[in-house]
A and B are shown apart, each in its own frame.
Chain A
């Protein structure tokens, strides 16, 4: 058993599709400063700085070097992680490993994406090597279109259920001061009549490209007690890797595969003595690039039996006021600064556990929550957070 580790400070920027008013470095600084203020610390208190970013999306290399001054890393150790969609969670996991192992006492993680600088879909399409996969890769949208088709076939869910997920996300986003898309959607008809993107996905079924940054400060138990009286403890983290399924998709046609989400959740729950996540955990912020994905991951994270995720949506169980809220912040469907997207999920769980989420605070008390991340090719990271340990 390593040292106990807590989140002692969080900071995030507001999110927009374009931020021509700031450089990448200034954007990161916008998140680092409130995180330090939240922890009532300054940079001399921080032992190491880790940066998370999918650098090819902006078309520059080694952003962690160019922003040493703005991330606060000047003359401090640290490194950058780029692991696709999981980047913003991987960075916290690695910081957690370093603190729990006693290598550092206090670490700042800063994750960002400034998607007005480049073409993320182009970069994702180039992620396949010309030796295999060239011509098949059609960006993230193509993968989630295929996944939606599989989900429709196996679960019996309809487009109306996906639209209910999107409507829920927008309700949360409109109450969240940091979210990107605040569409003010009135009914599922607004989603069902939006422009087709890639069959069966429509414009509002899929996540946006956002500019934004999020910073989190973690500390060991001894330091945490000196820093804050409202720590959020990192009970556990897990990461499961998976090569693309046989068809190169986020879905399984063979019926023989197990999803990385399912395996990650199973291991995380077992290690933490959780037998019924619906009873023993209070809420989650999950990584759902499409509304169809959210229904599938309810099932893979054990919140309901397989092929019944859409029933949770139909019954309103995952609404802000529901029995088991999911993504009260508006989720990835509303805000998606890719490298920072999972970091935002974690920061939002922290706000909910502290009871500081303001208008999008869930109705029930939150003592335990988990945040997740999904990256290509189908990797899953999860972080289990608790008010007390």
Chain B
């Protein structure tokens, strides 16, 4: 086995763009525009149950009714509920490569809205991570408007 020649990989580059066009829909698009243009998170509060619908959606699944147009700003600060980190590279089909994620992922309880959001933390030192730590979103200087990770780099530890 040791003398077997290494496998040769053939790489083919397609110059033609792939024709995928993902529509985010009316409500999610508004969130992305707010992130890109105003560096803030927004969502809709359901007109029936008065809960924040996250991600913003035209329909509240719980009420099975239109969620309405009561748009509110959501805090980009929150508390870490739990965190986890991966110890091995995982295949990311969006880029076609095995990727090692250096940043821990955390579930963050955003302030005053009962939105629990999974996002990356800036702090890589595992000894400095603890549940309850306060964090705030770090926005890209130039928003791209193509999804939250296009506009928010990660969440940074803050002192309060």
> What is A's interface to B at a CB cutoff of 8 Å?
119, 121-123, 125-126, 129-132, 134-136, 138-139, 141-142, 145-146, 149-150, 153, 195-200, 243, 245-249, 253-254
Contact flag A195-B87 (CB < 8 Å), given A125-B92, A132-B24, A247-B107: yes
Interface hits, B78-104 → A, CB 8 Å: 81-88, 90-94, 101
CA distance A121 to B101 in the complex (A): 15
Q: CB distance A253 to B107 under 8 Å?
A: yes
Q: CB distance B22 to A129 under 8 Å?
A: yes
Closest B residue, CB atoms, query A242:
B61
B92 CB to closest chain A CB, in angstroms? 6
Chain B residues with CB under 8 Å of A125's CB are 90-94
CA distance A100 to B101 in the complex (A): 50
**How many chain B residues have a CB neighbour from A under 8 Å?**
37
Stretch of B2-10, B69-77, B108-116, B134-142 with 4 or more beta carbons under 8 angstroms from chain A = B108-116
B113 CB to closest chain A CB, in angstroms? 10
Closest B residue, CB atoms, query A202:
B87
B90 CB to closest chain A CB, in angstroms? 6
B42 CB to closest chain A CB, in angstroms? 15
Interface hits, B40-54 → A, CB 8 Å: 54
Q: CB distance A134 to B86 under 8 Å?
A: no
Q: CB distance B22 to A130 under 8 Å?
A: yes
Which of A119, A126, A146: most chain B CB closer than 10 A?
A146
B63 within 8 A of A: no
Chain A residues with CB under 8 Å of B84's CB are 142, 145-146, 149, 198-200
Chain A residues with CB under 8 Å of B61's CB are 243
Q: CB distance B114 to A131 under 8 Å?
A: no
Q: CB distance A253 to B87 under 8 Å?
A: no
Q: CB distance B107 to A142 under 8 Å?
A: no
Q: CB distance B107 to A130 under 8 Å?
A: no
Chain A residues with CB under 8 Å of B81's CB are 247, 253
Chain A residues with CB under 8 Å of B25's CB are 131
Contact flag A247-B28 (CB < 8 Å), given A126-B94, A138-B101, A153-B82: no
